[in-house]
């Protein structure tokens, strides 16, 4: 392993073509510079500077080493700069349902990241049941979930009114079986819809399964079927409440966090403020 200090001295001598000038640039003495070059030459077993030339210049071996020395020093400087910058050295892991990552929530994330450059936000979207399981397993520092009843350690909970929705511009009597637009198996809304239809002794089938709120809303807009969704998520879309069934009982939108102090507490408060205004 070549000592970077010796390489830096060698490059300075080659660039300056003078031991005296190199010493000035390195804020050192000529004797120290000469000694460091000698140590490098001993380490590589080659003469690197032709001291008899006027001005002095690299030998053939020195020319070969010079390019590598510059690259090694550049990489060292890059590594030192990277390690000196604290950006992203701490991670806060967040789990949220897809529809919670609104523009307002994203702006709060951006403001927080700007204030805390040392922190990297790792945001994962998913189904509430899976998010709850992963939070309890310690995979998230903060989690927002939808649930029928909040656990005792919820930092805050807010009512999430629900309704059945259909296409605003498609007028039809829904047949039996009823076509459903839904999220994948395991989703709360999917289970809620199926339970309601079966209690009403109606038949159903899955007409469309979407992994995101945007895809589900697009399918409803197109008239593929009906779906249960939070009322707060539908305002900008061409859907309307459906009279196929009466309104469902609201869910709770709860936020959980292992810590409520420091930077995590600051982010938690900002997230609570956003979901309180849904």
Tens of pLDDT, residues 181-212? 999 998 899 999 999 999 999 999 999 999 89
**Residue percentage of the chain with pLDDT more than 70:** 97
- Mean pLDDT calculated for residue range 86-109: 88
CATH of the domain at 12: 1.10.10.10
Query: Which has the closest alpha carbon to 20: 53, 52, 55?
Result: 55
| Whether the Cβ atoms of residue 30 and residue 23 lie closer than 8 Å to each other | yes
Q: Print the domain residue range for 225.
A: 162-249
The domain boundary, picked from 84, 102, 127, lies at: 84
So what's the pLDDT on residue 87? Answer: 60
Q: Torsion angle, CA of 152/135/217/199, rounded to 10 degrees?
A: -50
Q: Do 233 and 261 reside in the same domain of the chain? A: no
Q: Do 35 and 152 reside in the same domain of the chain? A: no
The domain boundary, picked from 33, 53, 84, lies at: 84
Q: Do 193 and 141 reside in the same domain of the chain? A: no
Residue 172 confidence (pLDDT) above 80: no
CA 78 to chain centre: 24
Question: How does residue 242 score in pLDDT terms, banded at 50, 70 and 90?
Answer: very high
So what's the pLDDT on residue 85? Answer: 63
So what's the pLDDT on residue 230? Answer: 93
Edge-to-edge strand list for the sheet holding 251-257? 119-125, 90-96, 142-147, 251-257, 156-160
CATH of the domain at 117: 3.40.190.10
Between 78 and 102, whose confidence is greater?
A: 102
The domain boundary, picked from 84, 99, 120, lies at: 84
What's the rounded Cα separation, in Å, for the pair 204 and 43? Answer: 80
Q: Do 127 and 262 reside in the same domain of the chain? A: yes
The pTM assigned to this predicted structure is: 0.67
Q: Do 101 and 174 reside in the same domain of the chain? A: no
Residue 88 confidence (pLDDT) above 60: no
Between 54 and 83, whose confidence is greater?
A: 54
Q: Do 106 and 73 reside in the same domain of the chain? A: no
Q: Do 143 and 8 reside in the same domain of the chain? A: no
So what's the pLDDT on residue 208? Answer: 97
Q: Do 48 and 113 reside in the same domain of the chain? A: no
- Indicate the number of domains in the chain: 3
Residue 225 confidence (pLDDT) above 60: yes
Under the phi-then-psi rule, with left for phi > 0, alpha for psi from -120 to 50, and beta for the rest, what region is 48?
A: alpha
**Residue percentage of the chain with pLDDT more than 90:** 62
């Amino acid at each position: 392993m070549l000592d970077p200090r010796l390489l830096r001295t060698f490059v300075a001598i080659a660039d300056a073509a003078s031991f005296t000038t190199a010493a000035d640039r390195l804020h050192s003495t000529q004797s120290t510079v000469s000694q460091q070059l000698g140590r490098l030459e001993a380490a590589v077993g080659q003469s690197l500077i032709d001291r008899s030339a006027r001005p002095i210049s690299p030998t053939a071996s020195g020319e070969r080493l010079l390019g590598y020395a510059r690259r090694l020093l550049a990489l060292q400087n890059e590594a030192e700069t990277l390690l000196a910058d604290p950006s992203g050295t701490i991670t806060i892991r967040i789990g949220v349902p897809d529809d919670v990552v609104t523009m307002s929530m994203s702006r709060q994330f951006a403001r927080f990241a700007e204030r805390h450059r040392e922190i990297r936000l790792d945001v994962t979207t998913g189904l509430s049941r899976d998010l709850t399981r992963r939070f309890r397993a310690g995979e998230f520092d903060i989690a927002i979930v939808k649930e029928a009843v909040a656990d005792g350690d919820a930092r805050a909970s807010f009512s999430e009114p629900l309704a059945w929705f259909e296409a605003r511009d498609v007028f039809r009597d829904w047949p039996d079986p009823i076509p459903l637009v839904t999220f994948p198996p395991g989703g709360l809304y999917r289970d809620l819809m199926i339970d309601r239809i079966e209690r009403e002794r109606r038949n159903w089938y899955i007409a469309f399964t979407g992994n995101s709120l945007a895809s589900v809303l697009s399918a409803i807009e197109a008239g593929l079927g009906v779906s249960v969704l939070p009322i707060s998520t539908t305002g900008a879309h061409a859907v309307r409440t459906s009279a196929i069934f009466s309104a469902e009982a609201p869910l709770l939108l709860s936020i959980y966090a292992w810590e409520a102090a420091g930077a995590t507490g600051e982010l938690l408060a900002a997230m609570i403020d956003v979901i309180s205004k849904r």
